[in-house]
Amino acid sequence: MAAAVPAQLCAVVLAAGEGTRLRPLTERVPKALCPVGNVPLLDRALARLAGLGVTGPDRVAVNACYLGDQVVAHVGDRAHLSVEPGDPLGTAGGVANLRDWIDGRPVLVGNADAYLADPAAAPGPDVAALLDGWDGHTVRLLGQPAADPAAPGTFAGHCFTGFSLLPWRLVRDLPVVFSDLVRAVWRPAEAAGALTVVPYRGTFFDTGTPADYLAANLHAAAGGTLVDPSATVTGHCMESVVGAGARVDGEVSRTVVWPGATVHHGERLRDAIRAGSTLTVPVD
């Protein structure tokens, strides 16, 4: 699939957001670094790009703002870093802030919080259809059929699933102000007949809410229990994800136990996320 990637293509992973709907989980950890299946979401995005043959700071950029120091430290030299001062610039503003780095190239933009998994294709090849046969001038979105094709926020009856492909001509004049790609690029392109939705065949969660975040983790565990080798489990785990250095002395089912977290003896957690030794986010 890597052969279908335009030679000049660069990629931007959007990782600047606050993740307000995931609070209090995101009060200390930015959403992009929240683990799904014991892998930070941002690492999943970078791995997907690597699966397309797009790697390194010359071809991949990551933006950061909220708790940006953590994102910067985590990325290291794996990508070019764009740290936004003050408040996040939004999806379009974040891309605009990287205009000098993009420098005339087409750009694949991915949301760090998008969880994608296709049993028929590895990360990277699973989204390669977004690039196949692209004319270099139109906008492409990865999407899945919406339950209500006419609902607000849909495109050609599809819900957006985390990745879009933009030509340089639509990036070049974006202002470096707070703005989103929906209104600044996608809807105008749609109105001009220059937007195409490419269907994604696998599973998608945007992980923006505790319910979707838990669902993504349970999907990553494939219906079983995923326990990091460095975790300690003396209690009982069922359909759960247990992170590195975590300890489970109680009982958990359909639960995510974050790295370093503890579930104490006598505790019973179901449909929940545990961080630290006491923080529990229930999922209704």
* Rounded Cα gap, residues 203 and 219, in angstroms: 9
CB 107 within 8 A of CB 171: yes
Kindly state whether residues 71 and 179 are assigned to the same domain: yes
d(CA 3, CA 14): 25
Instruction: Decide if 102 is inside a domain.
Output: yes
Task: Read off the CATH number of the domain in which 195 is found.
Answer: 3.90.550.10
Q: Which two tokens stand for residue 52?
A: 């397309």
Q: Are residues 118 and 245 in the same domain?
A: no
- pLDDT tens-digit profile of 162-185? 999 999 999 999 999 999 999 999
Instruction: Return the top range by mean pLDDT from 148-152, 153-157, 270-274.
Output: 270-274
Q: Establish if 99 belongs to a structural domain.
A: yes
Eight-state DSSP code of residue 118 = B
Q: In the predicted model, what is the mean pLDDT of residues 49-64?
A: 97
Full domain range(s) for residue 59: 10-205
Provide the pLDDT for residue 5.
75
Q: How many domains does the chain have?
A: 2
Residue 47 sits in the same domain as residue 85: yes
Asked if 190 and 249 sit in the same domain, the reply is: no
* Residue 3 pLDDT level (bands cut at 50, 70, 90): very low
Name which of 87, 108, 112, 89 is nearest 171 in CA terms.
108
Same domain? For 90 and 158 the reply is: yes
Instruction: Calculate mean pLDDT across residues 147-164.
Output: 93
Last residue within a domain, chosen from 175, 205, 235: 205
Single out the residue of 201, 197, 164, 173 nearest to residue 104, CA to CA.
Answer: 173
CA 109: distance to chain centroid?
11
20 lies in some domain: yes
pTM score, whole prediction: 0.93
Which pLDDT score is estimated for 4?
63
Segment 81-125, tens digit of pLDDT: 999 998 999 999 999 999 999 999 999 999 999 999 999 999 999
Q: Are 195 and 80 found together in one domain?
A: yes
Q: Is residue 215 part of a domain?
A: no
48 plus 157 within the same structural domain = yes
For the record, the structure tokens of 68 come out as 């940006």
Provide the mean pLDDT of the chain.
95
The percentage of the chain sitting over the pLDDT mark of 70, rounded to a whole number, equals 99
Same domain, 58 and 100: yes
- Per residue, what are the HEC states of 15-69? CCCCCHHHCCHHHCCCHHHCEECCEEHHHHHHHHHHHCCCCCCCCEEEEECCCHH
Per the domain annotation, does 213 fall within a domain? no
Please indicate, yes or no, whether residues 190 and 255 belong to a single structural domain of this protein.
no
Confidence of residue 1 (pLDDT cuts 50, 70, 90): very low
Residues 238 and 183 in one domain: no
- Return d(Cα 232, Cα 88) in angstroms, integer: 38
Residue 186 lies in a domain: yes
Whether residue 227 sits in one domain with residue 188: no
